[in-house]
Chain A
Amino acid sequence: MFTYILYGLAIAGLAISFFKDRKKTKMALKKAWKAFENILPQLLTIFVIIGVAMAILKPETIQTLIGSDSGLWGVLAAAAIGSITLMPGFVAFPLAAALLKSGAGYMQIAAFVSTLMMVGVVTLPLEIKSFGRRAAIVRNSAALVFSLAAAFVIGAVL
């Protein structure tokens, strides 16, 4: 649904741009393609790695790792899985809900969801392209520490 809004915006933007200045519009499209092609090799690599990782690390496997009574180790496992894997929200949240039903605690779920969103180990090469090695590593480390802290707070409150 939201994707359609995004498409609407892009198309409207292109139309207005084209109306105002054809040359600039052509340049915008060129830049769009260049930016995309620039990250394409890493992107393709990430897809293959994640495809294989998710085949080995099936939802059932995740369930046993961060299921009921998994405690602190469950939180750490959840954070590790969330940091490494890459999945769209429409897969992640139903999975998290299923994990919750099957006995995982809010603490583990929060660690999983937060790291999944904020920490990207496989996408580090892409991040380094924009931010350089140091900033990318600092940002991800800080995000990991934050996710753990947030998980403990959420676990304590809920």
Chain B
Amino acid sequence: MKQFFKRYGAFLLILAAAVATGFVFPEIGKLSLTNTVSNFKEMLSVLPPIFILLGLLDVWVDRATMMKYTGKGSGIKGVLIAFLLGSAAAGPLYAAFPVAGVMLKKGSSLFNVFIFVGAWSTTKLPMLMFEAANLGPVFMALRLALSIVGILIIAFITEKTLTTQQQEEIYARNSQAEPNQAPLKG
């Protein structure tokens, strides 16, 4: 119970504040409720398969494989794989972070993980199609071309501004004790 309040306390506080706001400004309150419920529904519809795939990735792909394809020294191939993995995703950006965590745990390089997050945020295929339909193919193509360069630059900057120790801390953050982890091969 204490644990519950520790974890969900901030949420309950914000919820109480929102409810209070709703009583003072009923119009905003009503709209807030509709918005929150629709966000929640969206989450329930896209998140289950993402997290199931995350679980399968965690269990079936061993560290050696992940390191070979997206780890340090995986070169252009690793960057391409990270780009493709992110682009093949669906769902909001916040769902990318737990997946990124699993990749880090399995030994992906930070640069490639930031590429993955960048691709997830911007170059998702269905989103691009939708963007072209709404804002025109020229707008979409131009923004995509810029974004691909931008994602590389952002990943580069983010990785380079971290000291070795800070990078190790990020890996440590995502590698909690795991009794069932596949042993490192060779």
Q: Out of A13, A88, A110, A117, which one reaches B122, CB within 8 Å? A: A117
Interface residues of A in 91-148 (CB under 8 A from B): 93-94, 96-97, 100, 106, 109-110, 113-114, 117-118, 120, 123, 126-127, 129-132, 134-135, 138-139, 142-143, 146-147
Interface size in chain B (residues, C-beta < 8 A): 80
Contacting pair A120 B150 (CB below 8 A): no
State the CA gap A51–B97 with chains docked (Å): 22
Closest CB in chain A relative to B184 CB, distance in Å: 18
User: Residues of B contacting A143 with CB < 8 Å?
Assistant: 118, 121, 150, 154
Q: Is B85 an interface residue (CB 8 A)?
A: no
Contacting pair A41 B147 (CB below 8 A): no
Contacting pair A28 B143 (CB below 8 A): no
Interface residues of A in 50-81 (CB under 8 A from B): 50-52, 54-56, 58
Contacting pair B49 A2 (CB below 8 A): no
Binary flags per residue of B53-70, CB closer than 8 Å to A gives 1, else 0: 111101110000000000
User: Residues of B contacting A17 with CB < 8 Å?
Assistant: 56, 59-60
Contacting pair B55 A28 (CB below 8 A): yes
State the CA gap A47–B47 with chains docked (Å): 14
Interface size in chain A (residues, C-beta < 8 A): 79
Nearest CB to that of A97 among chain B residues?
B134
State the CA gap A123–B102 with chains docked (Å): 18
User: Residues of A contacting B46 with CB < 8 Å?
Assistant: 3, 6
State the CA gap A85–B98 with chains docked (Å): 20
A43 with B130: in contact, given A86-B92, A139-B158 (CB under 8 Å)? no
Contacting pair A44 B8 (CB below 8 A): yes
Q: Is B82 an interface residue (CB 8 A)?
A: no
State the CA gap A123–B93 with chains docked (Å): 9
User: Residues of A contacting B58 with CB < 8 Å?
Assistant: 28, 31
Contacting pair A35 B104 (CB below 8 A): no
State the CA gap A154–B169 with chains docked (Å): 38
Contacting pair B52 A13 (CB below 8 A): yes
Q: Out of B49, B114, B162, which one reaches A7, CB within 8 Å? A: B49
State the CA gap A16–B51 with chains docked (Å): 17
Interface residues of B in 139-186 (CB under 8 A from A): 139, 142-143, 146-147, 150, 153-154, 157-158, 161-162, 166, 169-170, 173-174, 180
A35 with B54: in contact, given A7-B49, A44-B8, A143-B154 (CB under 8 Å)? yes
A-B contact pairs, 10 of them (CB 8 A): A1-B126, A7-B48, A17-B60, A32-B51, A32-B52, A51-B35, A54-B32, A86-B92, A131-B100, A146-B150
Interface residues of A (CB under 8 A from B): 1-3, 5-7, 9-11, 13-14, 17, 24-25, 27-33, 35-36, 38-39, 41-52, 54-56, 58, 86, 88-90, 93-94, 96-97, 100, 106, 109-110, 113-114, 117-118, 120, 123, 126-127, 129-132, 134-135, 138-139, 142-143, 146-147, 149-150, 153-154, 157-158
